[in-house]
């Protein structure tokens, strides 16, 4: 497996960075997770726009244009001969001294990893996920915008730890006012009749590329989509609940904090949207 590392392709076991890199020392950097379906990178432009916006927000200047970055992503796929893959694009602040000040850092490091994807097992798509809500809160948008997909994922990791302590594989994070924000690395939707609700960005959700694709697809299919804050209660009494993300695509949630959602199995609308999403992915690749 070849990894792109600052201008070279190196083998996985040789892809190493300095312990003085501020991405390692402080989580100072940004990243993206991107899917490739049958050789087509899904919504690469949107991922790059989000990456460059995240970088701009934390005053990190990526040492490539978006066009160059696109080519590097494609080259990484070709080098690894992958047609269906998950790509991890990482830009870290670079190698500096032990101080926090990023001005000590040299050029930001650019890393591209492409791997075959390990999704949730198929059984989980058939049965749906059981999840919980956790004590970890999404950071406030006025502190560090949740729109910034930074390398500092401690909150999200704590969510995973709390989920696994509760014996489940995923969990929902609330914001500091108690509104539902998102999962550890997924957005959340609830369904009521033919209406879909998902938390707006200001509640503390990353504006997921999959989330945005589902909003578009749902509107095309005639659903009413509302980006509105909601609470745990609304989740408990929803007809259906599902999560969206690059790796998970669309996955049903059938139990939240012990409350059975709907009939306790993946609902009709969730299945419908997953099917439409998978079709859209193929269609966009053919364009
Ligand atoms: N929320 C967080 C915190 C994430 O890290 C991710 C994953 O990228 C998502 C939501 C889902 O976003 P996307 O659909 O772009 O993968």
User: How far apart (Å, rounded) are the C-alpha atoms in residues 210 and 111?
Assistant: 23
Q: What is the pLDDT of residue 174?
A: 97
> Is there a shared CATH topology between the 2-115 domain and the 122-286 domain?
no
Coil/strand/helix, residue 208: coil
Q: What letter would DSSP give residue 252?
A: E
pLDDT of residue 144: 82
Q: How far is ligand 1, taken at its centre, from the CA of residue 208, in Å?
A: 5
Looking at residue 278, its pLDDT comes to 94
Residues 6+ apart with CB under 8 A from 16: none
pLDDT tens for residues 230-264? Answer: 999 999 999 999 999 999 999 999 999 999 999 99
Residue 187 in contact with ligand 1 by CB distance below 6 A: yes
**DSSP structural state of residue 256:** E
pLDDT, position 140: 82
**What residues pair up with 188 in beta bridges, in sequence order?**
243
Q: Both tokens of residue 215?
A: 């909003």
Looking from the CA of residue 33, the nearest atom of ligand 1 is 8
- Residue whose CB lies within 8 A of the most ligand 1 atoms, among 86, 180, 245, for a mutation test: 245
pLDDT at res. 287: 60
Torsion, Cα 210 218 131 164, to 10 degrees, reads: -10
Q: Which ligand 1 atom is nearest residue 213's CA?
A: 14
- CATH number corresponding to 2-115: 3.30.470.10
Nearest alpha carbon, ligand 1 atom 7: 185
For the chain, percent of residues with pLDDT exceeding 70: 99
C-alpha 97 – ligand 1 centre gap (Å) = 31
pLDDT at 105 over 70: yes
Evaluate: CB of 173 within 6 angstroms of ligand 1: no
Atom of ligand 1 nearest to the CA of 245: 14
> Which atom of ligand 1 is least distant from the CA of 183?
1
CB 204 within 8 Å of CB 146: yes
Site to probe by mutation for ligand 1, drawn from 185, 207, 216, 277 as the one with most ligand atoms within 8 Å of Cβ, is 185
Check: CB of residue 15 under 8 Å from CB of residue 5: yes
Q: Is the CB of 182 under 6 A from ligand 1?
A: yes
The label of the residue with tokens 């299945």 reads 271
Q: What is the pLDDT of residues 126-183, one digit of tens each?
A: 999 999 999 999 988 777 888 999 999 999 999 999 999 999 999 999 999 999 999 9
Which element (helix H / strand E) includes 133? strand 129-137
Cβ of 217 below 6 Å from ligand 1 = no
Q: Between these two residues, 143 and 83, which has the higher pLDDT value?
A: 83
Residue 11 sits at the vertex; the CA angle it makes with 37 and 119, to the nearest 5 degrees, is 30
Angle at 51 (CA atoms; ends 203, 96), nearest 5 degrees? 110
Closest residue (by CA) to atom 2 of ligand 1? 185
Counting from 1 in the atom list of ligand 1, the atom nearest the Cα of 210 is 14
Residue 190 has phi, psi (to 5 degrees) of -120, 150
Res 145: pLDDT: 87
DSSP one-letter string for 23-83: HHHH--EEEEEEEEETTEETTHHHHHHHHHHHHHHTT---SS-HHHHHHHHHHHHHHHT-S
pLDDT greater than 70 at residue 78: yes
- Architecture of the domain whose range is 122-286: Alpha-Beta Barrel (3.20)
Query: Does ligand 1 come within 6 angstroms of the Cβ of 33?
Result: yes
Residue nearest to atom 5 of ligand 1 (CA): 185
User: Does the structure's ipTM exceed the value 0.95?
Assistant: yes
- Residues 188-224: tens digit of each pLDDT: 999 999 999 999 999 999 999 999 999 999 999 999 9
pLDDT at res. 219: 97
For the chain, what is the total number of helices (H) and then of strands (E)?
9, 15
Helix axes 209-220, 268-286, angle to 10 degrees: 100
The arithmetic mean of pLDDT across residues 26-52, rounded, is 96
Instruction: Of 173, 165, 106, give the one whose Cα is nearest residue 134.
Output: 173
Share of residues in the chain with pLDDT > 90 (%): 91
Residue 8 Cα, ligand 1 centroid: separation in angstroms?
A: 28
Distance 233 CA to ligand 1 centre (A): 23
Q: In what order do the strands lie in the sheet with 109-115?
A: 8-11, 2-5, 109-115, 85-92, 29-37, 40-41
Provide the pLDDT for residue 142: 77
Look at residue 285 in the predicted model and tell me its pLDDT: 77
Q: Is 279 a catalytic residue?
A: no
Residue extents of the structural domains in the chain: 2-115, 122-286
- Cα separations (Å) of 92 from 70, 86, 96, 179? 18, 19, 11, 31
Please state the rounded mean pLDDT for residues 91-102: 97
How many residues can be counted in the chain? 287
């Amino acid at each position: 497996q070849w990894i792109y590392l600052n201008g070279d392709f190196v083998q996985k076991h040789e892809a190493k960075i300095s312990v003085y890199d501020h991405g390692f020392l402080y989580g100072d950097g940004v990243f993206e997770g991107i899917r490739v379906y049958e050789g087509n990178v899904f919504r690469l432009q949107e991922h790059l726009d989000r990456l460059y916006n995240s970088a701009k927000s934390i005053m990190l200047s990526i040492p490539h244009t978006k066009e160059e970055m696109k080519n590097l992503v494609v080259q990484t796929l070709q080098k690894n001969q992958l047609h269906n893959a998950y790509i991890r694009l990482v830009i870290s602040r670079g190698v500096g001294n032990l101080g926090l000040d990023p001005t000590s850092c040299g050029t930001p490091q650019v890393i591209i990893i492409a791997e075959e994807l390990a999704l949730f097992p198929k059984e989980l798509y058939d049965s749906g996920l059981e999840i919980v809500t956790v004590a970890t809160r999404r950071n406030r948008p006025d502190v560090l915008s949740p729109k910034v997909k930074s390398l500092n994922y401690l909150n999200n990791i704590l969510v995973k730890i709390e989920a696994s302590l509760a014996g489940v594989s995923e969990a929902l994070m609330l914001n500091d006012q108690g509104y539902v924000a998102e999962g550890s690395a997924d957005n959340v939707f609830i369904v009521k009749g033919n209406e879909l609700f998902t938390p707006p960005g200001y509640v503390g959700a990353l504006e997921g590329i999959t989330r945005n694709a589902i909003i578009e697809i749902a509107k095309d299919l005639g659903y009413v989509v509302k980006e509105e804050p909601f609470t745990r209660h609304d989740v408990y009494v929803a007809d259906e609940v599902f999560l969206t993300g690059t790796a998970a695509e669309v996955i049903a949630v059938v139990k939240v904090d012990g409350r059975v959602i709907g009939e306790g199995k993946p609902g009709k609308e969730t299945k419908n949207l997953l099917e439409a999403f998978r079709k859209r992915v193929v269609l966009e690749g053919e364009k």
